[in-house]
Structure 1
Amino acid sequence: SIRFYSSILPNLYNYILAQSKRFSTEALNRHAASLRMRGRPKVVLARNYEEAMALYERYSDNVLGVISDVRFPIHGVKDSEAGLKLMREIRKTDPYLPLILESSESENRAKAEAEGFRFVDKNSKKMSLDLHKMLEEHLGFGDFIFRDPKTKAEIMRIHSLKELQDNIFKIPDDSMLYHISRNHMSRWLSARAIFPVSMFLKTVTWERLKDITAHREIIFDAIVQYRHMKNIGVVAVFDRMKFDAYSHFARIGDGSLGGKGRGLAFLDNIIKTHPEFNSLEGATVQIPRTVVLCTDVFDQFMEQNNLYQIALSDASDDDILRHFLRAQLPDSLIADFFTFFEAVKSPIAIRSSSLLEDAHYQPFAGIYSTYMIPYLDDKYAMLEMLACAIKGVYASVYYRDSKAYMTATSNVIDQEKMAVILQEVVGKQFDGRYYPNISGVLRSLNYYPIGDERAEDGIASLALGLGKYIVDGGQTLRVSPYHPHQVLQTSELETALRETQTRFYALDTQHVGNDFKVDDGFNILNLKVKEAERDNSLNFIASTYDPYDQVIRDGLYEGGRKVISFAGVLQQGVFPLPELLQMSMRFGAEAMRRPVEIEFACNLNADRTGSLYLLQIRPIVDQKQMLDEDLAAIPDDRCLLRSHNSLGHGVTEDVTDVVYV
């Protein structure tokens, strides 16, 4: 009757809305939450048997359950058992779909329960509560409750997808079998709007697999893949309950992410929109796990500790740093930092990401500090170092050089705000030190093309160890990703010995304590390449100089000086670095609509697999001097001197005589 379903529908709807609010809290940010809310279950209403069957057939793949009265019309005639007939018909096609009968005639209870349908009595004072309970228990609303199949006692209660992922291997076999053979897992996920996993698990039935362990692994892998897919390219709001090893990029605070932070989020999105990155065998491309402390944390820190006075004064850098290190970060961050340590389990880089950094027209690069701290099992010691590093980055906004740079670029220092990026350091742990096999800077515009290279083929500078070595002007290997076989520096023996890397940087993992200095490289080791040979980290990236035969052989051999030539990666195709760099350059420049500079690091494994991590992207400011004259059009007989290859802007120090024509 209209009167009856007018009373029950609002009740049902309130319940569904409460459910969708509850599961939307699992989303990574507000945008994702409002999308999840749209995935809430819908209620469709049928007024007779034919309508009900038509609706069921139309939505049969997605029905969570059916609630039906007993007496309603079939072919226009009222039938006192219509509800039972409808349910028998549905039961033929789907043996496990939850079916609920409601009736005011108590004798229908026995009929319904005899055929395995649930029953709700309309005369009951607590009818709406009974219905809620049924929905929660059988339609996948509320928490997922694992039960003992014999006693129906509760074994475990799961509130969220991450909890299911964490506990899937702890549930007893018989309980697991009971739930998967009745399709409960898929229904619960569907009610929470996690449709890709739900649809996938619906097809993996117990009949097809008959193996509990395999089932657990399939469910676990499906959840991990789904979370990975949801995490990439999204700036999530940091939440201790959700951040773990499978999380990707999160923010603490509501302010701006700053220039580097935006660049990272941008890179993450480029990787997401171009699956080609991860299509090459043995190679993965991603950004390191990252948490950004937004600019509002900086504002709060500066105001609560009353630091503006010392910061804007003419005090020395050491003084400013000392004051900042004494200040206090908000206590609310402690638990978040612990969660982050637990998830990354590796050294952490603390990088500046200010509002003005990497801006399109005046990129500030290398002005502020970047600290690195080792990973320690003692969480509190690590916390102390992290806090010092964050304060050190904050202090670097007000150092002398920064102030001078601000004045030179006519920016106002009061407008500068600092976000801080906490990021796992790419690399591997060796004896007391930590560094990656390859770091590099890639530019999509090459000002000095040689031979048949073109300016737009780009250029990469590669080095062993931490990328700080490149920024500090160390000797790197320059190569165009489109011409990996042409490396000028290794083309001749003398050049190769003279112009390749002899030292590299690594993080000193033994250096623990809060003795932070203005120089952010205070705990970075400057080592000889020989040391890397001891660490066995030169596989595929070094060649050996044979002094007897006066040749350089690709690969590692006993004795002889090791030359960092990256031959295995560039010329022998051990790892598809040139192809990945080509893609990074192409997609990055396309997305930014201008030439870009990308920082990256790479870990290579002994089995020829590896991971490329993109660390930063910024626009290259390309200042083109306007030249109206077309010099090539001047005929030869009017020229005294003509060169088709000339040196661009650079420094040549061994010129002693100049002939002026």
Structure 2
Amino acid sequence: MDFSSIFTQTEFNKLMQKRIQSVLLISSSYDAFLLEEDGRIEEQIFNEYVALNLRYPPRFIQVTTAEEAFKVLHNEPVDLIISMLSVGGMDPFSLSKNVKADYPNIPIVVLTPFSREVSIKLGREDTSAIDYVFCWLGNADILVAIIKLIEDEMNAELDILSVGVQCIILVEDSIRYYSSYLPIIYRIVFNQSKKFMMEGLNEHQKMMRMRGRPKILLARNYEEAIDTYQKYKSNVLGVISDVSFQRNGEKIDNAGIELAKTVKRENAFMPFLLQSSDISVAQVAKEIRVGFLYKYSKSLLQELKHFLKVNLAFGDFIFMDPESHQEVGRVSNLKELQEKLFDLPDSSLRYHFERDHVSKWLKARALFPIAEMIRNFRIEDFDSLEASKQFLYDAIISFRISKNKGVIATFDPNKYDKYVKFARIGEGSIGGKARGLAFLNNIITKNSSELHFEQVDITIPRTVVIGTDIFELFMEMNNLYEVALSDMSDEDILEHFVNAKLPHRSDHYLRKFISAIDNPIAIRSSSVLEDSHYQPFAGIYSTYMVSNTDEVEVVMKQIGDAVKCVYASVFFKSSKAYMQATMNIIDEERMGIVLQEVVGQQHGNRFYPTISGVARSVNFYPIGPEKAEEGIVNVALGLGKQIVEGGVSLRFSPSYPKKALQLSSPEMTIRETQKKFFALDLDNTTFVPSVNDAVNLQYLDIKQALEDGSLRWLGSVYDYQNNIIRDGVMSKGIPLVTFSNILKNEVFPLAQVVKKILEIGQKEMNQPVEVEFAVDLQKTNEKPVFYPLQIRPTVEGEEALKENLEELCPEEQLVYSKSALGNGIIDDICDFIFVKSVGFSPANMINMVSRIEKLNHILLSDHRNYILIGPGRWGSQDPKLGIPVKWAQISGARVIIETALHGFCVDPSQGTHFFQNLTSLRVGYMTVNTVTGSGYYNEEYLMSKPAVYEDEWMKHVRLHRAAVVKIDGKKGMGVIAIPGE
């Protein structure tokens, strides 16, 4: 009897007739990206579908509002709706009812983070129109599980009863637990199915076995469970059941035990697993001879895996010789085809390409663009076969490069090469920084038409991410937690980590990575909490760089040491202190590692990029005509450490690049622009494991950049004889970093590129963003490259202002301003220095300077900041316009307020020095003009308080409670509340 022919002609074609082909995902772009875990969901679903010989994997249609959802439903076929709890325009429960009314056959799933508040909310809502509610627990497999569960439900009757496919019944009414169990069960079933598939003696058997994988059926009450079991009992592999769930509409504490007894009476050998939060059920399970799982066990999922494993027990392309039909070559993927193309016999290549064999093989692997190109490929169109081979070779390289954009590949040492843009090692989380980089990679690809610039390439650097599971393995195999959580010094902790061993396969993986990278390598932290959507963990951990010289063994050791240094930095004193301050638990932190090609060029024994920068989509210190929503950019020559460490950089608005405040006068340009820059020392002996991650960086004078030629695009020269700044570096004089050729003459469209990146980033994240980047202008025979390095939400604790200041009553505040610069909340200042309006005369302002300076000195000596209030322009050099103080004389002021008096109304400060200090020191600034009715200032309140110091012109008071200063940088409003007594 021909077993395979029976399956081929009858049952095999009947399987999986109903499929989820189109999923409507209702969420923000950022939530969708997190749910899909950097694109891996698409990859997993694709692999499953190819193995099942289905033509198209499901596609995701992502919308952000209810209105968009109904538009899609009206115009396109949708097989499944997945909605997050937060839906623009309508809550998901109302949305589900409205959808069910018009589309009753479309399954609806609500996906929500797990929390007590969410559970309470779900308990209050009418969920009758929702088919399933799932918790997203950070596991990317959840979407695969949801799709497969619904597909299994749709196909169960035909596939199980007609063909004999097996099934596993899960009885569970807890959203939290079935959301955890189902991805685990499906993963085990898929892995088992792959083993079954490989046991097939031919392609047909392999396909049959994969199609015949067991189905998972979920029941959420006793009636569903018993009906499912009775219907499919001849094909049930096993049952996993909760103990307490509903029967006849009431919660029954022993419903699962009754179900187990019923099943065991019919089939004593049926594997059955009871799971409960009541440990006493273990004894009952033992008595009725079924398995037991304690829900609060620390190893819950591991025990579930064990139960499933113990109890529930396309091919290579072969090039042939057209005459002898003997094999002359074999390739298993596109990379091998590229590598072997020039070695294959001409006659064999001609034979297969003429018959379209290769394109069909590629289509089976869903490589459609290159397959279509090869299908239209004709050897006779070229002058020679060698020319046609070269054309194919170049086309495959281009396709592989484009294919890797926006995708995180699994790092395969046998397939990895320089054409893989972003790969991951390990199965754990990739961490916040890597996720941000992956999201950037994704949106660059998604918005490629908007980001097309004629003379610029925009791409992320070549990157490999080591998952957090490798960190956990490293910590456990070296017994490092006791050391890490101790009170040892940073140096001692680092020594223990450096002496530990990385997991055994690390050497093989790192060696392969190094072989594909020409530039130095940055080893960057990417912790689970870092660059979080809600927590400002950026910059807490370390980043190291290694020179990547030709000495492979040296580089291998240095990268290994650098990885251990980053791991150790999780447990340095500063990190622990930050954890405590942000109410996080150090045990919860897990570290991923980003290995990234350093952007830039070599100059002697130095390496650095032409430009590094940080751009923010909101500018809290806009200076007319700038607007807050137009954003702000800081750029510097050399490595980005110059900006990250708070060094001098050039600040400009991407909408007004020619209006840089620091370049407003020769004197200011000389004083306020960059004098030194960071570069990586390429001498490999300078890197040693150290708490200081800048151990092998050089801090150089910009004259060195002039010699290197990198100042060519960024530099100007100060002609001291004529007191003038000349653009370019060809003139004699003092070199300066002004970016003039870029910002004024646009030799590189930096402002345009950054502006577009910020627009797209903010749109995709649905909130203001911060983007780190680097630019290499010295590419030989290539276009300059703009490298986005990181994107994160600009949600900083001190800037989290949720209150609407427009709704406050001005007369109830101490100060109310409709013209303010800065952002956030300051709640630790008790001291006010203010100029009294009674007896004020502009003629006395110049005499006030020394007294203010003395008060400033006293307060700084006591480590106290203060709020400074007075009429006119602070710091004006014209005594008729304001008190002519120098910045050093009021350097302790955290907030500066300019007021107006009858007979003395002056426009707000306009001095460039003044605004440069405001922005660089992040000082709050408000103007109040009670004469014209713009704003409010309750001077009487301050006058009523006892004085620390008072004279005929001014007064210093100290309040018992700190005043609360609130500034909304987006709206340009600010208030100071009257402190409660």
**CA deviations over 1:198-226 (Å, ceiling 9, x no partner):** 11211222344454233223322332233
1:610 aligns with 2:610: no
CA distance in 2, matches of 1:552, 1:525: 28
Q: Give yes or no for the alignment of 1:326 onto 2:502.
A: no
What is the SS of the residue equivalent to 2:706? helix
Contact preservation (8 Å) 1:437, 1:537: yes
- Give the aligned residue type for 1:469: Q
Q: Which amino acid aligns with 1:32?
A: E
Q: Is the 8 A contact 1:459 1:481 kept in 2?
A: yes
Which residue of the other structure, out of 771, 791, 800, is the alignment partner of 1:623? 800
> How far apart, CA to CA, are the structure 1 residues paired with 2:526 and 2:580?
19
Preserved contact between residue 288 and residue 615 of structure 1 (Cα < 8 Å):
yes
**What is the distance in 2 between the residues matched to 1:633 and 1:552?**
37
- Taking the TM superposition and a 5 Å limit, the aligned residue runs for 1:83-98 are none
Cα displacement (A) at 1:477:
0.6
- Correspondence list, 1:197-596, <5 A: 197-209=370-382, 211-276=384-449, 278-512=451-685, 515-596=688-769
Partner of 2:785, secondary structure, is strand
Q: CA deviation at 1:365?
A: 1.8
Residues in 2 aligned to 1:633 and 1:9: alpha-carbon distance in whole angstroms: 77
3-state SS, counterpart of residue 335 of structure 1:
helix
| Cα 1:34–1:639 shift into 2, 3 Å | farther
Preserved CA contact (<8 Å) 1:575 1:608:
no
Deviation per CA, 1:10-32: give whole Å up to 9, x if none: 59979xx9xxxxxxxxxx95642
What is the CA-CA distance between 1:558 and the residue it aligns to?
A: 4.9
Equivalent position SS for 1:485? coil
> Does structure 2 conserve the Cα–Cα contact (< 8 Å) formed by 1:575 and 1:609?
no
Give 2:522's aligned amino acid. A
- For this pair of structures, how many residues does the alignment match? 556
| Residues 176 and 212 in structure 1, CA contact (< 8 A), matched pair in contact too | no
Number of the residue aligned with 2:49:
38
Residues 494, 160 of structure 1: alpha-carbon distance in 2 compared, 3 angstrom cutoff? same
Matches of 2:674 and 2:351, distance apart in 1:
62
**Partner SS, residue 575 of structure 1:** coil
Deviation at 1:319, TM superposition (A): 0.8
Looking at structure 1, the residues matched to 676 and 521 of structure 2 have their Cα atoms a distance apart, in angstroms, of 23
CA contact (8 A) 1:278 1:284 kept: no
TM (norm. structure 1) is: 0.77
- Of residues 547-556 and 287-296 in structure 1, the stretch that sits farther from structure 2 once superposed is 547-556
Distance 1:260 1:461 in 2: 20
Q: 1:204 to 1:530 in 2, by over 3 A?
A: same
Answer yes or no: is the 8 Å Cα contact 2:320–2:329 preserved in 1: yes
Alignment correspondent of 1:158: 331
Shift of 1:508: 0.4
Q: Which residue of 2 aligns with 1:89?
A: none
8 Å Cα contact 2:686/2:695 also seen in 1: no
Q: Alpha-carbon deviation of 1:539?
A: 2.3
User: Bigger shift: 210-219 or 551-560?
Assistant: 210-219
1-structure distance, mates of 2:9, 2:639? 62
Gaps of 5+ in 2: 17-38, 56-199, 205-313, 811-815, 820-898, 925-950, 957-981
Could you tell me how far 1:643 is from its partner in structure 2? 5.3
What does the per-residue CA deviation read over 1:341-374, in whole Å, with 9 as the maximum and x for residues that have no partner?
Answer: 1122221111111122112332112211110011
Question: Hey, what's the Cα distance between the residues in 2 that align with 1:450 and 1:460?
Answer: 14
Q: Identify if the C-alpha distance between structure 1 residues 484 and 30 changes in structure 2 by more than 3 Å, giving closer, same or farther.
A: closer
- Structure-2-length-normalised TM-score: 0.53
Structure-2 change in CA distance of 1:201 and 1:278 (3 Å): farther
Deviates more, 1:171-180 or 1:351-360: 171-180
Amino acid at match of 2:791: I
Residue 361 of structure 1 aligns with an amino acid whose one-letter code is Y
1:174 Cα shift?
Answer: 3.9
Aligned partners of 1:385 and 1:513 also within 8 Å: no
2:145 paired residue number: none
Aligned-CA RMSD value: 3.4
Against the structure 1 CA distance between its residues 401 and 574, is the aligned structure 2 distance closer, same or farther, given a 3 Å change threshold? same
Q: Per-residue deviation at 1:172?
A: 3.8
Match in the other structure for 1:188: 361
* CA distance in structure 1 between the aligned counterparts of 2:3 and 2:782, rounded to whole angstroms: 69
Structure 1 position 502, deviation (Å): 1.0
8 Å contact kept, 1:345–1:375: yes
Partner of 1:63: none
Matched, 1:9 2:183: no
Cα shift at 1:285: 0.9
Consecutive unaligned residues in structure 1, runs of 5 or more: 18-27, 45-127, 133-140
The alignment partner of 1:534 has SS state of helix
Given that 1:41 and 1:191 are in contact with CA atoms closer than 8 Å, whether structure 2 keeps it comes out as no
The Cα of 1:639 is off from its aligned counterpart by: 11
Instruction: Quote the Cα distance in structure 2 between the aligned partners of 1:582 and 1:213.
Output: 45
SS in 1 for 2:618: coil
Q: CA deviation at 1:478?
A: 0.4
Conserved in 1, the CA contact under 8 Å of 2:611 and 2:776?
A: yes
Structure 1 residues 558 and 360, CA gap change in structure 2 (3 angstroms): same
- By how many angstroms is 1:556 displaced? 2.1
Q: Which has the higher contact order (CA 8 A, sep 6+)?
A: 1
State the 1:292 CA deviation: 1.3
Return the letter of the residue paired with 2:710: S
Structure 1 residue identity aligned to 2:538: A
| Contact 2:662–2:673 (8 Å) recurs in 1 | yes
Q: What residue number does 2:176 align with?
A: none
Separation of aligned partners in 2, 1:43 and 1:478: 54
Partner Cα separation in structure 1 for residue 418 and residue 669 of structure 2: 42
Amino acid at match of 2:790: Q
Task: Tell me the CA shift for residue 145 of structure 1.
Answer: 2.7
**Matches of 1:158 and 1:469, distance apart in 2:** 48
CA gap 1:539/1:155 in 2 versus in 1, 3 angstroms: farther
2:31 alignment counterpart: none
Question: Cα gap change, 1:259/1:499 in structure 2, threshold over 3 Å: closer, same or farther?
Answer: same
SS state of the match for residue 360, structure 2? helix
Aligned pair in 2 of structure 1 residues 533, 332: CA closer, same or farther (>3 Å)?
Answer: same
